[in-house]
Amino acid sequence: MIDDAIRVLAGDCTVIAENGDREEYRGRVTTIVKPDNTVLVHDTDGYQPVAWLTRADSVSSDRTGGFTLVAKKDTQTLRIAAHDQDGFAHYPSSAAGTPIGTCPDCDGTLVRSSGVHCVGCGDEYGVPADATVRGDQCDCDCGLPKMRVERGLAFNVCLDRGCESLDAAVKEAFDREWNCPEPDCDGDLRILRRGGLIAGCEHYPDCEIGFAVPAGVVDGECGCGLPTFETASGVRCLDATCDRALEGPLESDAAADD
């Protein structure tokens, strides 16, 4: 297996698919093996592959007496034997995404898919799913675009966390901003990263109170004393188990709109 490469085999092939029963095909086909070991065998008829195996557990090749490609997953086997090989090659590949700028390291194109990566050199940057990548560049000399992320406030920070940290910006704004709601606890909520950003009691592990910081902007205070956030789904409390965790616009806001 070659990481981040697509393998292509083209030629006159016999294709045998087995999964309890057995199906056999022959023709001039093009077989594509994707980096996740998904195997697709295409002929000239329509858009659907004539045979395929999704995310095979293993893909092996044998050049003894010709060229044979074998993919296996659980009880399924897909075997492609080339009688007359037109070509076999490896091609570099990456996820396709929306162009958002130019890579400062190689002048390749930065694209956004699940994160942000450079099509040229492969540099990758983790981006929150709700972030909006902006057109303006970072204030330092890194040359990367900035992103807008809502975590209590709207923060405009560099794509590179090592250059400008979203965590540090949220911590500066909200660390110890809210009291721990646990009865008889005099602690403040600290901004921490535990998988994601959380507001957790400073007295942990004696007090295990902790809340994931939602994607949204603080717009008021809940009856339980914690802040409410205006999110894409409506107004919710920092505490996802609170009665006001997710119920649309607050009554006071709705009255004001009327």
Please report, for the chain, the start and end positions of each structural domain, with discontinuous segments joined by +: 5-92, 98-162, 172-257
Q: Has residue 153 got a pLDDT over 90?
A: yes
Query: Parallel, antiparallel, or unpaired for β 196-201 and 210-212?
Result: antiparallel
DSSP 179: B
Share of the chain above pLDDT 90, in %: 70
| Closest among 31, 33, 27, 55 to 41, alpha carbons compared | 31
Residues 6 or more apart whose CB falls under 8 angstroms from that of 166 comprise 128, 149, 151, 155, 157
Omega before 128 within 30 of 0, i.e. cis: no
Contact 181, 209 (CB under 8 A): yes
pTM greater than 0.75 (yes/no): no
CA distance 144 to 222: 38
**CATH fold label, 5-92:** Protein Yojf; Chain: A; (2.70.180)
CA distance 170 to 225: 20
Q: Has residue 247 got a pLDDT over 70?
A: no
What is the tens place of the pLDDT at every residue in 189-234? 999 998 889 999 999 999 999 999 999 999 999 989 999 999 998 9
| Closest among 102, 136, 137, 139 to 121, alpha carbons compared | 102
